[in-house]
Amino acid sequence: MRKKLGVLTSGGDTPGMNAAIRSVVLAADDNGFVAMGIKKGYAGLISGDVSRIKPEDVRDIANMGGTILKTARCREFMTDAGRQKALNVIKAYNIEGMVVIGGDGSFAGAEVLDRHGIPTVAVPATIDNDLPYTDFTIGFDAAVNLVISEMAKIRDTMNSHERIGVIEVMGNQCGDIALYAGIAGPAENIVIPEKEKDLDEICDRLVSERIKGKTASLVLVAEGAGSGIETAQYIHDMTGLEAKAIVLGYTQRGGSPSAADRMRASSFGIHAVQLLARGNGGRAVGIRNNNLFDEEIKAALATEPRAQTQLLEEYRILSRNG
Ligand code: F6P
């Protein structure tokens, strides 16, 4: 009988989760495993929402946003009783290894499964890029691309009306979406958790830019560092300039994955399955300096947040004199 390997997606969805599922299913088949799809993350593991997922089921999904397995944030899995139910389901289905695709909460769950004797590999997927052990998580690139394409549209109308566009982007613990979009967009100002917040300095810059004839400026605010609505209000109150808040919200989490996301998702999925085929659980896969690697989930979770010194310096230079 072929061994069974389970796969689930958990936490906030990201573009590229489907590409990762496809990769896991095809790599499982390649390694002689039967892939079992678990619906709605850990919630489906608890309720027993488990069914076989065949290579033909993942034929056309690499370009699709969302996750065909659905996802959830599951409080019950935080409890001993919930975990026990999940372990019972895993045993009932004879699942001998798990691939968990998600962010830090999902990784913590993966570590629990592994510790309880189910070899489990974690694959990083979160648009926030807030798993600093890996340079990139699945979905981050698509989110940045979405943000910079929206920025261009917002800049057009801000320019016509001579307004300041204050754009709130996702990123709770980590300002990478705002930082990357601030460089690539570009945006004249960013407010991110990694940078000391000085709204008065931003106000001064906006006023001096206006005096020099610049009719529109963009301010990107990472949600973890402040609210777009409040920031726009503050700018208006302090400068008298018309400032409009735009919250991009869930638009950043949907849509087709970028090529980079699909490539990463594909490599991560294969690598995860190959680790399990070799009997290596408790690992997190990632990419560092363009090299695929894996390390203990615990070590991955304990990695300190990036200071982003180099990118912040690049941003400083590029945003001078807007
Ligand atoms: O997935 C990460 C994230 O997108 C955060 O940036 C955001 O704050 C959060 O998820 C929103 O989560 P939910 O789907 O629970 O509203």
Considering the domain architecture, whether residues 167 and 275 belong to the same structural domain is answered as no
Asked which of 194, 225, 253 is the last residue of a domain, the reply is 253
Which domain does 231 fall in, by range? 143-253
CA–centroid distance, 124 to ligand 1, in Å, is 15
Nearest CA to ligand 1 atom 11: 12
Tell me, what's the pLDDT at 320?
A: 83
* Residues 52, 35 share a domain: yes
Distance 238 CA to ligand 1 centre (A): 31
Indicate if ligand 1 lies below 6 Å from the C-beta of 106.
no
Q: b/e string for 169-191 if b means 16 or more Cβ within 10 A?
A: bbbeebbbbbbbbbbebbbbbbb
Query: How far is the C-alpha of 252 from the C-alpha of 254, rounded, in Å?
Result: 6
Domain holding 115: CATH number?
3.40.50.450
Q: Residue whose CA is closest, atom 12 of ligand 1?
A: 12
- Nearest atom in ligand 1 to the alpha carbon of residue 103 is 1
Beta strand 283-288 with 291-296 is antiparallel
C-beta 172 within 6 A of ligand 1:
yes
Domain count, the chain: 2
What are the residue ranges in the chain where pLDDT is below 70? Answer: 321-322
pLDDT of res. 107: 98
Note the pTM of the prediction, 2 decimals: 0.97
- Which CATH number characterizes residue 171's domain? 3.40.50.460
DSSP string, 265-279: HHHHHHHHHHHHHTT
CB 195 within 8 A of CB 201: no
Q: What pLDDT, in 10s, does the model give residues 102-119?
A: 999 999 999 999 999 999
Q: Are residues 101 and 183 in the same domain?
A: no
Do 185 and 217 lie in one domain? The reply is yes
- Output the pLDDT for position 321: 65
Best mutation site among 170, 192, 227 for ligand 1, i.e. most ligand atoms within 8 A of its Cβ?
Answer: 170
**Judgement on whether residues 148 and 70 belong to the same structural domain of the protein:** no
Inter-axis angle of helices 259-277 and 17-30, nearest 10: 30
- Whether 41 lines ligand 1, by a CB cut-off of 6 Å, is no
Beta bridge partners of 218: 165
d(CA 171, ligand 1 centre) in Å: 8
Residues 124 and 108 in one domain: yes
pLDDT digits (tens, 9 = 90+) for 262-294: 999 999 999 999 999 999 999 999 999 999 999
Same domain, 151 and 128: no
User: What residues are annotated to the active site?
Assistant: 128
